[in-house]
Structure formats: C-alpha cells, structure tokens
Chain A
Amino acid sequence: MTHIALPEPDHATIARRSDIVAGLSAAIGADRVISDEDGRRAYETDALTAYRRMPLAVVLPRSTEEVASVLRYCNREGIKVIPRGAGTSLAGGALPAEDAVVVCVTKLNRVIDIDYENRTARVETGITNLAISAAVSERGYFYAPDPSSQLACTLAGNIAMNSGGAHCLKYGVTTNNVLGVRMVLMDGEIVEIGGPHLDAPGYDLLALIVGSEGQFGIVTEATVRILRSAEGARPMLMGFPSAESAGAAVSAIIGAGIIPVAIEYMDKPAIHVCESFSKAGYPMDVEALLIIEVEGSEIEIADLLERIVAITKPFNPQSVKISQSAAESARIWRGRKSAFGALGRISEYYCMDGTIPLGRLPEVLGRISEICALQQLRVANIFHAGDGNLHPLILYDANDPDQSSKAEIAGAEILKLCVEVGGCLTGEHGVGIEKRDLMRVQFSDKDLALQMSIKTMFDPQWLLNPAKVFPLDGRPPIAAAAA
C-alpha cells in the first residue's frame, strides 16, 4: 500500500534538525523532547501502518503553556507540526512527515474537574476515551462516544476525528458530547471555546474544531458531557438468511419508533472470524447477524425486546437469542469490539469506513462483493446499521505488493460507491491521507475551497498537519508552498 503521494519534505529543514531539537529543548526542556532514532521510531506511523515517516523530533508537553511554547517556536521557524494522541488513526491522520515535529499530548492526561450536578467533566485531552468513563463510573456515569479503540485512543484524537462508536445511535458522536475546548493556535495563542454551559455564544466554532483533523490547533483541554448510565442494558442476537432481510428488519424497528441504543450488523465472514476468536455465541449458519441492544429497567428491557421480536417476525430471523446474563452480554460485545483484532490475526486487512443510506444496504453489499471479487480479494463487512456506517474489511496479503495495491483500488471503488448511493467517504475514521485524494468525489472545488479557506483562517501558514484532508493539487498558494 503506497499509492498515496506524500509531499517531498523540505530538505533545508531536515538539515537544521539538530538546531530544531535544541530550539525545542530550550522552549520546554530537553526531558520533553525525543530526538533519538529509536525513540522517534515509535511515532513514525499510526494505525494505517503501511505508511511510515520518521519525524524530526517528538515532543511530549505537560501543560497547555508548553504546547503554546512549542507552537510559537515552530511557527516562528516555519516548521510543520503533527498533533498526535495515541496514534490509532486508521486514516493516516497522525502520520508524521520528515520535516515535521510531532506534538504528542498523551502526557496531558489529567482529570481536572468532575461536576456531577452539571453532568460535565473537564479533562486534559491526552486522557484515553475509556479513562473518562472510568473516572466517573463509580457514581454511575459514563462518557458516551465509545470507539472500539477506546482503551487506547485519546479524547484529543476523538475530537480531531469526531469519532463515533457502536452506541452513538442513541447518544451521538463526539461533536454532540463536547461542550468546550481549550486550544492552542499555531502562533501560540491560547483560546477558550465554549464551556460548561449547554451552548456557546456567537458562532459555533466548536462545530468546526471537532473533526478538523489536527489542522486548526492543538486541543489541550475539553469539557465533556457525562451521562448517567441506564439502569441496565441487554443485547440480543438475531440471525437472518440475507442482507435484505436483516436490513429490512432494521428499517422496521426504527420505523416502528424504537431506537435501540445500538444495532450492529455483521456478515457471514465477519461472524465466523469473530466467533472463532472470542466464542461470543454468534450463530454460524446465518448470512447476517444483528446485535441489538436496548436499555432501561428490567421491565422496560423485556418490553422492548419483546416488541422488537414481534416487529422483526415478518423478516424470518433464523435465530433469536436474548442475552441471559451480564457475562453473556459482555461476551457478545467483546466479540464485536474485538472484530478488528480478530481479523487482524488471520490476515492483513484494509478497513473502510463509508456511510450509506440504510435502504441501499443489500445493493451496496452486493456491489462490494463484486468489487472485491474483481480484485480477487475477500471482504468481511461490519456495519453500524442504525446509522448507516459501513466497515468493509478487505483482506489481503501485505507481503504481496500486488495484493496490497489491489486492496487500495478496491477500497477506493467502495468509497466511491458509498458516495454514489447518497452516502459519504468516511463516517468516523476521518480523511487523513487515506481519503484525501477522493475528496473530489464528494465535494465540488467550491466546497473544498471554502473548507480550505477555513483552514487558512485558523492556520494561515498551513503548518498544522498540512499533507492531510485536501488533495495536494488545487490548494491555495500558501498551502502548496507548505506542503
């Protein structure tokens, strides 16, 4: 996988590396700067591991002020900066460049304040997603967005990518759960956007910042909503003979006015891999599996599950299994959440992330099979069915250059298909480098020009994560110079 062009680094900057390391050390202290090769190697890629670039240096600031010092220095010296959290981006969002400094926020990981009455928490953004929930779970609260990578990924990365998860159908994605941020602009200015109140005054700058893929500034603190957990939750497994019947069942449930907290879909290849890895108790003889979870008290859960069973009857589920215990529920979710890991054990895979209108599911799955068959590759599909977010996982042999380039070709075709049926290139993983060159499939040049002008407004010299999101050609002159 090396189809994606990365800009030629600026050799003059690379030649200044030891000065830059000295400059960074002077700015925030040598103990915050990683400059040796082994140390830097840990940061040379993210979860899109086919692409690797060794950065000039990595800095690990411990306060907003230190971030500001680093950015002020880099801005003055015209050095590019790659913000980084845990490096789990699947889109190459955190991929370094040889002429750039990585600013990694994982040492900024404190919980600053928990306000249960207002149901908010103030945290530093290097905290992991799961650690936020862990900090408030004692009192029965949680932080809602739950990417499968939640054990590792940081809130900083979640904010930059506007990450989602299986339970976003009910609780929304990152943008719906963040109330305010502290952000350092490239010139070192610290701005405070939003706060503990429900809506911020003036323009919705927060809406622009969430999902800006590290291109506007470095977010160091955030106020997030914390929610009281439901009294209980229970998943149910439903197996169907076809994608059509499973898709129709999902439509019928939602059409009947029930919004479960999660509806996850797996096709047969995905079921088999997950089941053999985690023994979750998934049915093996079905074409499509739905994991449907509802919440509430015992009576409410029983009532909702009963209704769902009745609503889906006409679609002839081959198997219906309601979880009978907390242990079984945990197993069911572990199976789903470890899907990527399980697949990773049998093969390299390329994880796609398009969104489609639910009604087009059977057609889209059919065409995905054709696209992959044409490249002689296998594919497994995992789908956040309630909100249309599809993850085709294209299996390939990484040691075979031909196969990996075919995987990239198939992936691009699949994403074009998502756009063609009324969906989009990415539902939660972000554009990064991966979908950068496909942006014109979804947007007109005018749409892209507007987005790029917003980038310029936040970062006039295009020093922050510049090689990402927008095709390298057609950029404003300043950006072209920076890239």
Chain B
Amino acid sequence: MKTLLRPAADWELANIISDAAARRLPLELIGAGTKRAMGRPVQSAAEITLKGMLGIMLYEPNELVMSARAGCTVAEVEQQLASRGQMLPFEPVDLGPLLGLDAGQGTIGAVFATNLSGARRVYSGAARDHLLGVKAVTGHGEMVRSGGRVMKNVTGYDVARGMTGSWGTLAALTEVTFKVVPRPEATATIAIFGLPDEIAIEVLCKAMSTPYEITGAAHIQQGPASRLWSSAIRRGGKAATVMRLEAPSKSIAYRAEKLRQLFKAYGELHVIDTQPSLEFWQEMRMMTVMQGSTHPLWRISTSPKLGPAVVAAIARYTPVEAVYDWSGGLVWVEVPMSADAGATDIRRVIALHGGHATLVRADAAVRNSVDCFHPLDPGVERLTRRLKSTFDPAGILNPGRMYATM
C-alpha cells in the first residue's frame, strides 16, 4: 500500500514536497483521479491528493472573477457560478464518464493543470486563456504565487499560465483564480445531417468566419452519431454537423436565419432549440459517443481545415471513428486495439500534416510502452527539460507522467 497524503493547507503540502525533494522520493499528485487512466502511469513512493484543498475564496460576479482552492470540484464551481447566472468560459470537458467514473467530480485545479477545454474553446479560448493567477508549490517545496485577481496583469512573467497543461509535473497548484462569463440568454444549434467530413469541415470553417459568433462547431461521423443520446441530433444515424449560437433570443433568430441563407446549398438546416441544444452540448462535454468502449482513443490537435485529411490518412492504415470539434481543429479518433494503439501510424500522419496527437484512453500496458503525449521537436524538448528542472530539480513531481524520461 502506498501512502496517501491529503494536505489541507498550502504549508502542509510545501512541507511534504520539500521533504520528498530532499529525499528524492517521487510523488504522484492527484486531483479527483478522474484522469489517472490517462497519460503514462506514474511510479511513485507516495500519492498526494489535493482534494483537501477546499473553499471558494473569492467570487465577484460583477468583476467576472473567481478564486477557488485546487480541490474544489468542477461541479461545485459551476453550481456557484450558475447561482449568479454565470459559467466557466471554456466549458471543460468532463472525461470522468469516459473513463468509467461519475460526472462533475474532476477538480478545478486539475482543469488548469491539464488545460482542459471543451467546445466553446474555438470561440472563447482555452482554460489557460482565462487563468488570472495561481498559488502553487513548486518541486523545491516553495510556496509561490503568480498573476492575481485582476483581468489585466503583465507584472513579471506569466508563470501562472506557464504552469497550465503541465499535468502536475512542474508544481502543485493550490489555488486558481480565473475569469468567468455570463451565461448566454438563449442557445440554439443549427444542424445539417449526412455531410461527408470534408464538406462538413468546409461548412464549419465558413461558419466560424461569419460575424455570427458560433460558440461550438462540431461534426460527428455517422458511427458515433448513431450512439448519441440526444434524439434531436441522432437523426436516423446520419453524420451530424452542428453549429451553436449563444446570444440574446432576438439575435439567435436573426443569426440562425443568416446561417440558413448562407448554407442552404449544403442541405436542409435544422434549428434545435435551447433545451435540446443544452442537452446535446452537455453530451459533447462528456464525449458520450466514445464511452462504453475500451478501444484506444486519441485526441488530435491540428489546423482546422486539415482535420478531415488527417482522419482520411489514418483510415488508410486502420478503421477509425472520428468526432471533430473546434471546426476541425480538434479530432477525437477511436481506433481498434493493437500493440501500440495505432501510435506509429497516427504519429506518421501527424508528422505530414502538422499538429499533435495525445493518447487519451488505452490500457495501462500500452500507456506504459507508447508516448501518450506527442513527442516534442528537439528544440522544444530541450526547453521543456530545462523548465522541468527549473521547477522540479529533484524530478519528484509526477515523474514520467508526460514523458518517460522526465
């Protein structure tokens, strides 16, 4: 049995980490553990859960800012925001259910540690774009802070944002301060059914280039679309191309009509109202259509218009099922089980098209033997190693979580 530590105060965590650093004992940092089934498994002497770091420390709805300690659940944060008609701007994906766990249990610290963003990212930016400040404990065991609670701040380097997406390998975040936004008054989703991938992405890229503020632009291939719960989008098992509008009700009607005019040559446009629309995008947040399977699942980031070409190229080597988000810039790709989960083929395709691919779901043996995170270019890798040793010279924070030798 490994030791499981549950510090509640920053100084406790700092003591644990500085002690471990002195003794070079590797530590695994855990939020709620909903993503432990992702990335490389960590070999550690002890586990630290950040779930003891509780409390919403500041919430100023009129200034669009909240500070929460790292262990708060996303569900709790969203509940507070909803009570004042606000929300997280970047719609974090909730992958708990995908990995066989309950929804909403992920921690807010981990949202920023992993830089998780959902469909709205294509319009309003990623988690990292909305981070204003952090308190953290580095691998030296030092308590540091960066940024603050105000929207504009260029005082010193942007170390807070620099820690996002580092998966607990640079520092343990103990408190995060972030920007929030008002909930839209109304929502509608415009859907076109039965489009092939290239045409769908052409539509979505065009839609994103209109002034109509599309806040979600996704295309779900026929296979996954047939597994949707949402009956409004699951139309006779056809591929679904969807565009989300979020605005005052008057604007929604106006913009929907504009889009109908613009895309009528592509097929019939269906307008899905607020309630079914909300249900559908909630499903997108949880990637329900990729649930229930144990096949390897990849998350590919590329330039939007190249999404279909990437999928078509992978399909030359192996059967694939794909869901496109971010107007094609993010592709979730499921492939059959194999010794390397398709890594060799997928990474070869990426090398030709640009972008990167992360293995999100595979069994532990595979995750141990392939690079879950995309291998870095040599120049970036050198900087990455140097940054890691600047924050964590003893190499004790989540060793191997992102890269086998780091």
Contact = CB atoms under 8 A, between A and B. Distances in A.
A208 B248 contact: no
A319 interface: no
A175 B206 CA distance: 25
Given A172-B129, A387-B151, A202 B209 contact: no
B156 interface: yes
A199 B157 contact: no
A303 interface: yes
Contact of A205 (B156, B302, B383, B390): B383
Given A176-B125, A389-B152, 20 more contacts: A115-B305, A117-B304, A176-B129, A190-B379, A197-B301, A198-B122, A198-B329, A198-B330, A202-B402, A203-B384, A204-B162, A204-B163, A207-B162, A387-B151, A388-B152, A431-B154, A431-B156, A444-B144, A447-B156, A457-B387
Contacts of B185: 257
Contacts of B205: 117-118
Contacts of A115: 303, 305
A202 B388 CA distance: 11
A256 B84 CA distance: 10
A10 to B, nearest CB: 26
Interface string B247-268: 1101100100000000000000
Given A118-B205, A259-B181, A422-B150, A205 B384 contact: yes
A42 interface: no
A300 B138 CA distance: 48
Contacts of B181: 259
A199 B250 CA distance: 33
Nearest to B251: A300
Contacts, number: 252
Contact of B60 (A175, A201, A359, A443): A359
Interface string A256-292: 1111000000000000000000000000000000000
B211 A300 contact: no
Interface of B: 60-65, 85-86, 115, 117, 121-122, 125-126, 128-129, 138, 142-146, 148-159, 161-166, 170, 181-183, 185, 205, 208-211, 247-248, 250-251, 254, 301-305, 326, 329-330, 354-356, 358, 373-374, 376-377, 379-380, 383-384, 386-387, 390-391, 402
B150 A192 contact: no
A358 B303 contact: no
A199 to B, nearest CB: 6
Contact of A120 (B63, B144, B157, B303): B303
Contact of B254 (A175, A176, A211, A297): A297
Contacts of A192: 377, 379-380
Interface string A431-457: 100010001001110111111011111
Contact of B125 (A119, A172, A197, A451): A172
B152 A427 contact: yes
Contact of A255 (B62, B145, B150): B62
Contacts of B149: 357, 422
Contacts of A392: none
Contacts of A251: 62-63
Interface in A161-209: 161-162, 164, 168-169, 172-173, 175-176, 189-193, 195-205, 207-208
Interface residues on A, range: 35 or more
Contacts of B85: 257
A422 B63 CA distance: 13
B155 A435 contact: yes
A13 B63 CA distance: 51
A197 B376 contact: no
B164 A198 contact: no
B64 A204 contact: no
Contact of A207 (B156, B161, B182): B161
Contacts of B250: 299-300, 303
Contacts of A67: none
A101 interface: no
Which 7 pairs of residues, A with B, have the shortest CB-CB distance? A257-B182, A207-B161, A387-B151, A427-B152, A191-B379, A201-B356, A251-B62
Contacts of A230: 211
Given A192-B377, A198-B329, A427 B208 contact: no
B272 to A, nearest CB: 21
A442 B358 CA distance: 38
22 contacts: A117-B209, A117-B305, A162-B158, A191-B380, A196-B354, A197-B356, A198-B326, A203-B162, A204-B161, A207-B128, A207-B158, A207-B164, A357-B65, A387-B152, A426-B154, A428-B152, A435-B155, A443-B145, A446-B144, A447-B145, A456-B390, A457-B383
Interface in A279-329: 296-297, 299-300, 303-304
Nearest to A446: B142
Contacts of A119: 208-209
A70 interface: no
Contacts of A343: none
Contacts of B374: 201-202
Contacts of B125: 172, 176
A299 B250 CA distance: 8
Contacts of B301: 197-199, 201
Contacts of A201: 301, 356, 358, 373-374, 376
Nearest to B127: A199
A461 B209 CA distance: 45
